[in-house]
Amino acid sequence: KYSQLKVLDSNKGTTQTNQGVLTSKDAFEESFVRHVETTLARNMYNCDNLAAYQATSNTIRDALLIDWANTQQKQTIQDGKRVYYLSLEFLMGRAMDNALINLNSRDNTKSSLTELGFNLEDVLEQEPDAALGNGGLGRLAACFVDSLSSKNYSGWGYGLNYQYGIFKQKIVDGYQIETPDYWLKYSNPWEIMRNEIQIPVDFYGYVYEDHDPNTGKAKKIWAGGERVLAVAADFPIPGFNTDNTNNLRLWNAKPTNEFDFTKFNAGDYQQSVAAQQRAESITSVLYPNDNFESGKELRLKQQYFWVSASLHDIVRRFKKNHKNNWNKFADQIAIQLNDTHPTLAIVELQRIFVDLEGLEWDKAWEIVTKVFAYTNHTVMSEALEKWPVDLLGRLLPRHLEIIYDINFNFLSDVEKKFPGDRDLLGRVSVIEENHPKSVRMASLAIVGSHKVNGVAELHSELIKTTIFKDFVKVFGKDKFTNVTNGITPRRWLRQANPKLAALIAEKLNDPNYEYLTNLGSLKKLEQFVNDDEFLKRWDSIKFDNKVKLANLIKETTNIEVDPTVLFDVQVKRIHEYKRQQLNIFAVIYRYLRIKELLSQGVSVEEIKLKHYISKASIFGGKAAPGYYMAKTIIHLINKVGDVVNNDPEIGNLLKVVFVPDYNVSKAEIITPGSDLSNHISTAGTEASGTSNMKFALNGGLIIGTVDGANVEITREIGEENIFLFGNLAESVEELRHKHIFEGVHISETLAKVFSAIESGIFGNPDEYRALIDGIRYHGDYYLVSDDFDLFLQAHTKLEKVFGHHGGDANDTDHLHKWVKKSVLSVANMGFFSSDRCIDEYAEDIWNIEPLSQ
Amino acid sequence: KYSQLKVLDSNKGTTQTNQGVLTSKDAFEESFVRHVETTLARNMYNCDNLAAYQATSNTIRDALLIDWANTQQKQTIQDGKRVYYLSLEFLMGRAMDNALINLNSRDNTKSSLTELGFNLEDVLEQEPDAALGNGGLGRLAACFVDSLSSKNYSGWGYGLNYQYGIFKQKIVDGYQIETPDYWLKYSNPWEIMRNEIQIPVDFYGYVYEDHDPNTGKAKKIWAGGERVLAVAADFPIPGFNTDNTNNLRLWNAKPTNEFDFTKFNAGDYQQSVAAQQRAESITSVLYPNDNFESGKELRLKQQYFWVSASLHDIVRRFKKNHKNNWNKFADQIAIQLNDTHPTLAIVELQRIFVDLEGLEWDKAWEIVTKVFAYTNHTVMSEALEKWPVDLLGRLLPRHLEIIYDINFNFLSDVEKKFPGDRDLLGRVSVIEENHPKSVRMASLAIVGSHKVNGVAELHSELIKTTIFKDFVKVFGKDKFTNVTNGITPRRWLRQANPKLAALIAEKLNDPNYEYLTNLGSLKKLEQFVNDDEFLKRWDSIKFDNKVKLANLIKETTNIEVDPTVLFDVQVKRIHEYKRQQLNIFAVIYRYLRIKELLSQGVSVEEIKLKHYISKASIFGGKAAPGYYMAKTIIHLINKVGDVVNNDPEIGNLLKVVFVPDYNVSKAEIITPGSDLSNHISTAGTEASGTSNMKFALNGGLIIGTVDGANVEITREIGEENIFLFGNLAESVEELRHKHIFEGVHISETLAKVFSAIESGIFGNPDEYRALIDGIRYHGDYYLVSDDFDLFLQAHTKLEKVFGHHGGDANDTDHLHKWVKKSVLSVANMGFFSSDRCIDEYAEDIWNIEPLSQ
């Protein structure tokens, strides 16, 4: 039987189809029981929700594998160009519901589980978040792999399979406490351990020169050192409404059993075991930093481990089909670098070509620069990655040599083009001649790539005029481009907001939800914008989602919020540039003002009508554990909440909530449940933002600065449907200059907030000293003082639009003003599908076509 | 469907039967393909031997789980007394072949695999040894769990699931080099991860006294400290010719996600992740020590982690059926302590009863002492386990208090019985008042158990007259008993020596190999002892096994040995008391003497006829990494081999082989392939030995001292069928005394050996200095000098019996002398089945009955 087949070529798909368990209750249930009894070694009589989750996910996983294997076969046979997306973070969240939706198996699974005595929602809740990312950068990568599959591209992700995800945040006495997220406590059914795919990765050691015995050519040998195995764990990524199922390959570090004389000569068995155990630590921890680098050796080890394993895997796959036909390499392979973290991939590929495959340097470099493209995510120079030459040279001695050679060749070209401009040479050099002497990863990424893109129009313009100005001069402006970020509507609409997705499908007469892969169709919603019945249904879905959010708040904080009030949300990483401090200062001002009015005898009802409508200010997000200022902001938010929420006079007029441990699963509840969301970064600091897109796609309105993707959202949905405020990016430099040389002007309103804080009503004012002093005395780098009153005004304006929604289901004023804007937002958000981004990357940067299905 | 069933009681078996994949090729192949395509996510077209092993083992595992689940059901329903075997080591070796044999599925699997294009033997070779033990103690535990299942007892093993097994031994330039054995590089299909079974285990912290709010009683609270989770991994243990499938539960240490204020108050996220990661290190390394202790804190942590998790698991299971009916506890549960490593279990159970369950101390202690029994494995005082009071008190503060209380009560009883005998009190005290003050684990084990047994008659007598003499005085001699060790004939005859097992089955007219669970039947072989045809078949099977061993030697050492020569084997841990040095000295003497004869012009043929027959001296075994003397012995053996094997004059007359990395799988080849094996420990030092039993059961003859189980083997098989030599145990003390006060007498023969070594022909003599000086100047503790000439004489004698077998298949002299002894050995080895041991333990110590099937 198979003995004959074994001699055939290995590029075959499977012998099975997956239709059974996806569409038949009997097949599902049979598989479910089999997994309970064998895979889990439990029995049906004591099968709890956790076991049900495991049995269900194993059943779905089996089905997914069929598509996955067939996709690999198809990709191999069609042998088109592939793209590899290298990202140090993939913030995937939960996998099961996404798989059920993309495989169109949610209904069969739900009813099968019901027959077996389980509730799908409870079962879904058992899955831990795959929290392998800090924030936007990692979530972007997750949306991109979803779109690559859904749009039928041949595109894989490569990352690391961290044992510990981003820390879990607890709030204790108002402070953020970080606890480790050991998410793999139960085995992960979505991870396919590929123990047969093992790639050795070396560190340390030394370089010597040898001569090729055949050609006599000198060649560099990297020898000695420490060896670790990269073992593949594959995560199948199903596309929506297609069988195309790409692969996300995350590497695990494992000890090698190979015999290392240099290590064992010492004869210390305990030491050698310890060295093996250390190997695994390479993939144990995701660094919990967002937009700043900690410069730890282990981080650099992670980066090299990951890119080395990935590159060798990519080259191996290429050679299987194309042997040593290197001329075809750049026609077959595109590699996208998500931020500078994978920049060593450029060096590693050059090393593979020159040292291992024997190509000439120039030939190799020509291929390398055609293969790579680099996505920049920040203009903040403090967030640009650098590595000390000493550290890099000790860890990767051969790579440092190659970096120097790359830089020498590059600078020679610059010198030819701009003879004698030594300042220019110093500014564009890959090596920063400083203490410590460092390698500038962004410069290396630019030099080694054929395209560099920003992630929103404003951001892409800014990098060309600020941090990368000199490179534009050297390479010309065509090397620099823009691809505005996007989000996957499968997770962020269909999965997070099933009722709204269903209403849209109904109105678009699209029972198969095809609009989810063709998001421009949302435009058709505009025709219903004057249909009151439609607006009411729309509003009532929002209300249901707000109830769900209110329940989450009650569960996690024990605070009760009334779902009829305005839900004013800011959830994202806590960072000074994102300006949660601006938001909480405004909340404090609102509280003080309400108290003042009350003390003047104004009634609560009157306050609601004339001054402030009822609202809940909802915050969420993690601060990097070492980021003192961000942690201070969290503390202040929580302390303000303690005071406001326990003030009996205030009642529903104002609640202040900090939802702990914001993550993807919580975002799936918070996003659809918001009326308004804050995207209020100092202009010019937020590269794009993607949560703004998520909120708008779910019918929430935005209050925001003219920053990042807010600009394009405004263009798409119309200025009248977004609440913009604040100074513009072009004024930032000047304002900062003025702050330093002319002082910071604290408005009367902000001064009231500061003195309230300093009065101690939110606890020991010393704890907030750095926050206030940073604005008052240290130059207010993030322009809080400049934007504060503008922010308050924007709120006054938007509250008028929201109206007095509380309790009145027939508030047509609210419907015609607020809800209409909500519909028009959604109708015009089609542009922000990550499918559109991927198409742009495919066409402008990668030059790849979808697979024929 | 199942929704109705879910309300039923949870003690149900499975919904499936396992007969399909065990007996039908189609069913096997279907399951095989399914596992390849889903579990392994590979396809049939690139399925290699490793994938075939994994698919086969997953298929067999699924079947095994059916029996395993049904056995658990049966055990729960019959609710009889259970035994728990606590052993820090289970040296299981490979699982697949054993499972195939015990499930009677070897033939179906073999032919199914053939159809699929695979060879069963090659597939079996893919499995790594589960080398979770050092030597005899761990292998005994493995044989015992096999017998517990095969004899239908309800008996579980409890141990640790070390990530690193016993180190792999490499020989480099004659030296032992230890390399870590990361045996779980590929996932282990025989391990069923029971992620739902998680038991928290605490360390460190402090104790305070509180009062029960209801009763007002004072109670001790152990608080604070570090928490680690014990997560169960279950290894189903199939019985032979029965569905009874017990469980071997090995614990994995995992970090807890619980929030630990004391740890997080410091606010150092990196530290808290590191602490979590450290948790896993508790079960990472098996300490590679045999018969000596290294006293490391981590070792004590391992012991407590293991016994605490096991005891809580046992108590939980008891409470499920019997609530708080503690009076039944000792009727339901017997716990056997394999050596002193699990002694803290006594303290932990007392703590559970008194601190957690609120029992009175005396009541609790009465139950505890009925539950436990302790197996002693050594009379060597240097191998007796002790823990410093300081260390134990810091790690387990409450346990130290309980130990003091146990000791106080015990000593009070002794004082009553022997008033005023303060020396006696000092000798039997659980606390050794020394520097450092220590807890004597053996004393604690004796005080807390109702029975103490040795593992062979001689050994059980010796402990009563030496190390435990005082306890016999206190407790009376009935507390001390003997259970002579045994081995499982399933692995050590049927699996290791299939041809011999088949011949026996044929002669016993026993096609189902029932003799394997009734090993006394071997006695019937005696009737064929004069049947030449039978003897020839017997001998030719031995020859085939020797060819297999010769192939192993060639593969691992590149030395060619002629399978017709006498294979003289000594494989076991390298230890001075086991006296590999005596053996290699005799080999050196033989070499020198042959060289002398050759130099006198005696021909090789004449040497063979008149002086020495041709032979290969085959050694194997690991030395503890820190045991200098043992490593010196290994070095000497290898260096002697280098000289002898490369001496062209010697040819086949003598070969000296050191097989590296001796383990269970290699033992399965070496044991059946030996003519003669050495069990030559200094009399009174080897507690039992079990490899002597394995060799004898496989038709190899023994050269041995009157020590351990050699004594009973002699009694069973007859003095004429074993080659005994050497001084007896009763002379040892006197000889040692004489060595010190009158000096050591080095015979002429031994002196020649020493001067050859000192001449440098085996390399730098300084490297062997300690070995020779230990004998010549430091009291020759192991009596090498006393036994050396006796050992040579025994060899002369046995060589005459072996005869000049070389090349002559019709050497009836060899048949009638040597082979006959071989048959008579095997025929009388029935007593040494581990089934017999288990029956003795069941009857005399545990008081349990087999389950009705």
> Could you tell me the pLDDT band of residue B10, with boundaries at 50, 70 and 90?
very low
Tell me which residue in A61, A117, A273 faces B180 most closely, judged by beta carbons: A273
One-letter amino acid at B410 equals F
> Could you tell me the pLDDT band of residue B256, with boundaries at 50, 70 and 90?
confident
Distance from CA of A602 to the nearest CA of B (A): 45
The answer on pLDDT for A166 being more than 50 is yes
The answer on pLDDT for A291 being more than 90 is no
What's residue A6's pLDDT?
36
What's residue B187's pLDDT?
82
The answer on pLDDT for A761 being more than 60 is yes
Interface contact flag, B284 A267, Cβ < 8 Å: no
The CATH number assigned to the domain with range A83-90+137-184+235-251+287-484+840-846 reads 3.40.50.2000
The answer on pLDDT for B207 being more than 70 is yes
> Could you tell me the pLDDT band of residue B392, with boundaries at 50, 70 and 90?
very high
The mean pLDDT of B694-713, rounded to a whole number, is 98
**3-class DSSP state of B447:** helix
The CATH number assigned to the domain with range B79-94+129-484+840-846 reads 3.40.50.2000
> Could you tell me the pLDDT band of residue B558, with boundaries at 50, 70 and 90?
very high
The mean pLDDT of B594-609, rounded to a whole number, is 95
User: Would residue B573 show up in a list of annotated catalytic residues for this protein?
Assistant: yes
The mean pLDDT of A45-68, rounded to a whole number, is 94
The answer on pLDDT for B792 being more than 50 is yes
Interface contact flag, A9 B38, Cβ < 8 Å: no
CATH 3.40.50.2000 spans which residues of chain A?
83-90+137-184+235-251+287-484+840-846, 559-799
Distance CA B351, CA B349 (A): 5
User: Would residue A578 show up in a list of annotated catalytic residues for this protein?
Assistant: yes
Full DSSP string of A266-297: T--HHHHHHHHHHHHHTTTB----SSS----H
Interface contact flag, B182 A50, Cβ < 8 Å: no
Residues of B in contact with A255 (CB under 8 A): 180, 182
B288-297, B305-314, B403-412: the lowest-pLDDT one: B288-297
> Could you tell me the pLDDT band of residue A745, with boundaries at 50, 70 and 90?
very high
The answer on pLDDT for A105 being more than 60 is yes
B17-21, B57-61, B161-165, B303-307: the lowest-pLDDT one: B17-21
A175-179, A718-722, B736-740: the lowest-pLDDT one: A175-179
> Could you tell me the pLDDT band of residue A233, with boundaries at 50, 70 and 90?
very high
Tell me which residue in A43, A50, A196 faces B69 most closely, judged by beta carbons: A43
Among A166, A733, A265, A348, smallest CA distance to B179 is for A265
Distance CA A707, CA A684 (A): 6
One-letter amino acid at A814 equals H
User: Would residue A459 show up in a list of annotated catalytic residues for this protein?
Assistant: no
Cα A167–chain centre separation: 15
Q: Mutate one of B26, B269, B283 to test the A interface: name it (highest A CB count within 10 A).
A: B269
User: Would residue B694 show up in a list of annotated catalytic residues for this protein?
Assistant: yes
Cis peptide bond upstream of A648, omega within 30: no
Distances from the Cα of B622 to the Cαs of A118, B139, B586, B627, B658, in angstroms?
A: 54, 15, 21, 10, 11
Residue of chain B with shortest Cα separation from A73:
B43
In Å, the largest CA–CA distance within chain A is 97
A153-157, A379-383, A559-563, B564-568: the lowest-pLDDT one: A379-383
B125-182 per-position pLDDT tens digit:
999 999 999 999 999 999 999 999 999 999 999 999 999 999 999 999 999 999 889 8
User: Would residue A507 show up in a list of annotated catalytic residues for this protein?
Assistant: no
User: Would residue B217 show up in a list of annotated catalytic residues for this protein?
Assistant: no
Q: A444 is written with which tokens?
A: 């290396």
Residues of B in contact with A177 (CB under 8 A): 259, 264, 267
Interface contact flag, B38 A62, Cβ < 8 Å: yes
Residues of B in contact with A632 (CB under 8 A): none
Distances from the Cα of B103 to the Cαs of B23, B61, B241, in angstroms?
A: 10, 11, 7
Interface contact flag, B192 A47, Cβ < 8 Å: no
Distances from the Cα of B51 to the Cαs of A214, A298, B39, B122, B552, in angstroms?
A: 39, 34, 10, 12, 24
What's residue B832's pLDDT?
98
Which is the catalytic residue, given B74, B249, B694, B739? B694
> Could you tell me the pLDDT band of residue A214, with boundaries at 50, 70 and 90?
confident
Tell me which residue in A3, A9, A37 faces B14 most closely, judged by beta carbons: A37
Residue of chain A with shortest Cα separation from B187:
A195
Distance CA B131, CA B134 (A): 8
Residues of A in contact with B2 (CB under 8 A): 29, 33, 44, 47, 115-117
Distance CA A309, CA B357 (A): 54
> Could you tell me the pLDDT band of residue B212, with boundaries at 50, 70 and 90?
confident
Radius of gyration for chain B, computed over Cα atoms and rounded to the nearest angstrom: 28
The answer on pLDDT for A831 being more than 60 is yes
Classify the complex by whether its ipTM is higher than 0.95, answering yes or no: no
The answer on pLDDT for B1 being more than 90 is no
Distance from CA of B78 to the nearest CA of A (A): 19
The answer on pLDDT for A527 being more than 60 is yes
Interface contact flag, B272 A180, Cβ < 8 Å: yes
B770-777 long-range Cβ contacts below 8 angstroms, 24+ apart: B770/B628, B770/B629, B770/B632, B771/B581, B771/B629, B771/B632, B771/B633, B771/B636, B774/B576, B774/B629, B775/B744, B775/B746, B776/B744, B776/B746, B777/B744
Distances from the Cα of A672 to the Cαs of A79, A705, A821, in angstroms?
A: 41, 22, 15
Distance CA B467, CA A349 (A): 67
Distance CA A365, CA A361 (A): 6
Cis peptide bond upstream of B436, omega within 30: yes
The answer on pLDDT for A690 being more than 50 is yes
Which is the catalytic residue, given A398, A572, A579, A615? A572
Look at phi and psi of residue B311 and say left if phi exceeds 0, alpha if psi is from -120 to 50, else beta: alpha
The answer on pLDDT for A790 being more than 80 is yes
Interface A-B, measured as beta-carbon pairs within 8 A, has a size of 192
Among A201, A199, A263, A261, smallest CA distance to A228 is for A201
The answer on pLDDT for B15 being more than 80 is no
- At residue A366's C-alpha, the angle toward residues A364 and A367, to 5°, is 70
Predicted TM-score (pTM) of this structure: 0.92
Q: Mutate one of A119, A164, A252, A273 to test the B interface: name it (highest B CB count within 10 A).
A: A273
Interface contact flag, A281 B277, Cβ < 8 Å: yes
Check: CB of residue B677 under 8 Å from CB of residue B692.
Answer: yes
What's residue A7's pLDDT?
32
What's residue A441's pLDDT?
97
Q: What are phi and psi of B182, to 5 degrees?
A: -85, 80
Q: Which CATH superfamily is domain B489-832 in?
A: Glycogen Phosphorylase B; (3.40.50.2000)
What's residue A19's pLDDT?
66
Check: CB of residue A662 under 8 Å from CB of residue A571.
Answer: yes
Tell me which residue in A10, A115, A185 faces B195 most closely, judged by beta carbons: A185
A294-350 per-position pLDDT tens digit:
668 999 999 999 999 999 999 999 999 999 999 999 999 999 999 999 999 999 999
Percentage of chain A with pLDDT > 70? 95
* CATH match for A559-799 among 3.40.50.1010, 2.60.40.1220, 3.30.70.270, 3.40.50.2000: 3.40.50.2000
The mean pLDDT of A697-718, rounded to a whole number, is 98
Cα B851–chain centre separation: 26
Which is the catalytic residue, given A490, A494, A578, A635? A578
Percentage of chain A with pLDDT > 90? 85
What's residue A706's pLDDT?
97
Tell me which residue in B1, B12, B254 faces A185 most closely, judged by beta carbons: B254
Interface contact flag, A285 B273, Cβ < 8 Å: yes
Interface contact flag, A117 B2, Cβ < 8 Å: yes
Cα A796–chain centre separation: 33
Q: A251 is written with which tokens?
A: 């590497």
For chain B, what is the mean pLDDT? 93
The answer on pLDDT for B2 being more than 70 is no
Q: Mutate one of B120, B169, B197, B270 to test the A interface: name it (highest A CB count within 10 A).
A: B270
Interface contact flag, A62 B195, Cβ < 8 Å: no
What's residue B811's pLDDT?
73
Residue of chain B with shortest Cα separation from A235:
B41
Interface contact flag, B66 A167, Cβ < 8 Å: no
Distance from CA of A682 to the nearest CA of B (A): 29
Interface contact flag, A182 B255, Cβ < 8 Å: yes
Residue of chain B with shortest Cα separation from A163:
B277
**3-class DSSP state of B545:** helix
Residue of chain A with shortest Cα separation from B118:
A3
Distance CA B141, CA B152 (A): 17
